[in-house]
């Protein structure tokens, strides 16, 4: 006999809503095993994350509602799905968050929602929760607010004024790809223009420059190539000064729907997760290693290699660049050596001021990474 809970309490609603929040990774990097779609032991709404600055902490992460009027075919919460719809009110959400915060269980909040009624009606609920925390409870800590596609300029400006970070998911590289997945969203009007507005509001020297903006791609749902995604990434980092870009692998088994006639474009789940990982590696090359989007090397169909990381693929495609003289090469060139990361390159630059590096063992213990780097370096 099935028990029916007609009026779930707050914790029951959190159990449902926090589980549904797993599809949005724009507050945590899924490139590492220890924070890839994981949850805390106390409740699914207690969420270990990698912070934008590289540190780690714990967020209170939930949707305010899993009811949604959108038709996104990649989303298991879309309007035609048969699932139990529940919602949290602003006062209720703020109260339960403060209980966890006062107990030292969380450092901040990530708040999103399905689209209830209209984008602005949904933003009103999100912004109202943040206002209660800021004004009523005096909370000055971290709040990440999801901006709903199609929200008005006023709603977006209010969210930016209240938040520590905001995100609006770009979802696909271009209008044509989004049209395959949703008949309701307009790529330029509902997504690109609001992202540009947030970039202007948070630009260096502006009032809200402290607020970080992130976004997320859905990987593998619309038949997009990696090259198309990376081209958009380069533009968002260079022109829009995006703080971080995240990726969520299309997971058909979680209620997602393939577009009619396009099943061939949907990769095997394991390949899609590998694609997601490769895109995170490219993201690091763009943000930390001085690569540009045009530097990335692709295989057939504009896809990244599933067998080798993109830095190694670039090195193999440019044999004329190597070997580099470890004692003379510029920092930006050393960062292109497979096996060398920013920390190791900083160590090399410091060691060179103190004397000549004569062998790879001078740099550090030779493990898998330094062993890989040795073949691309000269020590004469």
Boundaries of domain holding 374: 318-378
User: 265 or 108: which carries more pLDDT confidence?
Assistant: 108
Q: Answer yes or no: is 146 within a domain.
A: yes
Q: Answer yes or no: is 2 within a domain.
A: no
Over the chain, what is the mean pLDDT?
Answer: 85
Give the pLDDT of residue 6: 42
Q: Answer yes or no: is 357 within a domain.
A: yes
Give the pLDDT of residue 89: 93
Query: Are residues 339 and 285 part of one domain?
Result: no
Give the pLDDT of residue 252: 64
Query: Are residues 350 and 203 part of one domain?
Result: no
Lowest mean pLDDT among 19-33, 49-63, 107-121, 259-273: 19-33
Q: How many domains does the chain have?
A: 2
Q: How far is 286 from 299, CA to CA, in rounded Å?
A: 19
Give the pLDDT of residue 216: 94
Give the pLDDT of residue 269: 65
Give the pLDDT of residue 59: 84
354 Cβ contact list (under 8 Å, min separation 6): none
Give the pLDDT of residue 49: 64
Q: Which pLDDT band, with edges at 50, 70 and 90, does 109 fall under?
A: very high
Query: Are residues 243 and 167 part of one domain?
Result: yes
Give the pLDDT of residue 125: 96
CATH code at position 263 = 3.20.20.70
Q: How far is 299 from 297, CA to CA, in rounded Å?
A: 7
Q: Answer yes or no: is 212 within a domain.
A: yes
CATH code at position 345 = 1.10.150
Q: What percent of the chain has pLDDT over 70?
A: 82
Query: Are residues 130 and 192 part of one domain?
Result: yes
Give the pLDDT of residue 35: 41
Give the pLDDT of residue 369: 87
Query: Are residues 197 and 322 part of one domain?
Result: no
Q: Answer yes or no: is 97 within a domain.
A: yes
Give the pLDDT of residue 28: 45
Q: Answer yes or no: is 312 within a domain.
A: no
Query: Are residues 291 and 348 part of one domain?
Result: no
Triad 277, 281, 286: Cα angle to 5°: 145
Q: Which pLDDT band, with edges at 50, 70 and 90, does 9 fall under?
A: confident
Mean pLDDT of 286-291: 95
152-181 pLDDT, tens digit per residue, is 999 999 999 999 999 999 999 999 999 999
Q: Which residue shows structure tokens 């549904």?
A: 20
Query: Are residues 300 and 374 part of one domain?
Result: no
Query: What six digits make up the tokens of 298?
Result: 């692709």
Lowest mean pLDDT among 47-51, 229-233, 329-333, 373-377: 47-51
Q: Answer yes or no: is 190 within a domain.
A: yes
Q: What percent of the chain has pLDDT over 90?
A: 64
Query: What six digits make up the tokens of 258?
Result: 């393939």
DSSP state of 104: T
Query: Are residues 158 and 72 part of one domain?
Result: yes
Query: Are residues 294 and 194 part of one domain?
Result: yes
Lowest mean pLDDT among 23-27, 126-130, 176-180: 23-27
Query: Are residues 332 and 231 part of one domain?
Result: no
Residue finishing a domain among 278, 306, 334: 306
pTM for the model: 0.86
Residue finishing a domain among 253, 271, 306: 306
227-249 pLDDT, tens digit per residue, is 999 999 999 999 999 999 999 88
Give the pLDDT of residue 22: 65
Query: Are residues 296 and 329 part of one domain?
Result: no
Residue finishing a domain among 245, 278, 306: 306
Above 60 in pLDDT, residue 118? yes
Above 80 in pLDDT, residue 16? no
Above 90 in pLDDT, residue 20? no
Q: Answer yes or no: is 1 within a domain.
A: no
Query: Are residues 247 and 212 part of one domain?
Result: yes
Tell me the CA distances in angstroms from 289 to 74, 182, 310, 343, one per residue in order: 32, 35, 12, 11
Q: How far is 144 from 167, CA to CA, in rounded Å?
A: 8
47-98 pLDDT, tens digit per residue, is 566 555 556 678 888 888 887 878 787 777 776 766 677 788 999 999 999 9
């Amino acid at each position: 006999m099935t028990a029916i809970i007609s009026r779930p309490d707050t914790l029951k609603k959190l159990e449902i809503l926090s589980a549904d929040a797993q599809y949005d990774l724009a507050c945590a990097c899924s490139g590492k095993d220890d924070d890839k779609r994981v949850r805390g032991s106390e409740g699914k709404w207690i969420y270990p994350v990698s912070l934008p600055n590289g540190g780690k902490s714990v967020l209170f992460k939930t949707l305010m509602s899993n009811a949604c009027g959108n038709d996104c075919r990649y989303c298991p919460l879309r309007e035609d799905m048969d699932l139990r719809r529940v919602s949290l009110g602003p006062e209720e959400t703020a109260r339960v968050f403060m209980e966890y915060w006062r107990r030292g269980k969380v450092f901040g909040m990530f708040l999103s929602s399905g689209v209830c009624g209209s984008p602005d009606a949904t933003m009103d609920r999100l912004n109202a929760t943040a206002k209660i925390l800021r004004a009523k409870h005096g909370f000055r800590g971290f709040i990440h607010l999801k901006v709903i596609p199609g929200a008005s300029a006023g709603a977006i400006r209010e969210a930016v004024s209240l938040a520590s970070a905001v995100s609006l998911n770009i979802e696909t590289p271009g209008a044509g790809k989004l049209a395959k997945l949703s008949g309701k969203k307009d790529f330029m009007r509902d997504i690109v223009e609001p992202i540009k507005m947030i970039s202007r509001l948070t630009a260096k020297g502006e009032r809200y420059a402290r607020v970080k903006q992130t976004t997320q791609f859905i990987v593998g749902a619309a038949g997009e190539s990696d090259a198309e995604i990376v081209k958009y990434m380069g533009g968002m980092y260079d022109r829009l000064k995006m703080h971080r870009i995240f990726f969520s692998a299309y997971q058909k088994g979680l209620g997602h729907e393939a577009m009619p006639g396009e099943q061939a474009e949907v990769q095997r789940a394991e390949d899609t997760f590998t694609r997601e990982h490769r895109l995170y590696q490219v993201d690091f090359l763009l943000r930390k290693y001085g690569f540009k989007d045009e530097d990335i090397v692709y295989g057939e169909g504009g896809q990244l290699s599933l067998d080798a990381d993109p830095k190694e693929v670039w090195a193999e495609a440019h044999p004329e660049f190597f070997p580099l003289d470890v004692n003379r090469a510029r920092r930006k060139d050393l960062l292109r050596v497979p096996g060398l990361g920013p920390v190791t390159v900083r160590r090399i630059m410091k060691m060179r001021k103190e004397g000549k590096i004569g062998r790879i063992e001078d740099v550090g213990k030779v493990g898998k990474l330094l062993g890989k780097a040795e073949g691309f370096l000269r020590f004469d």
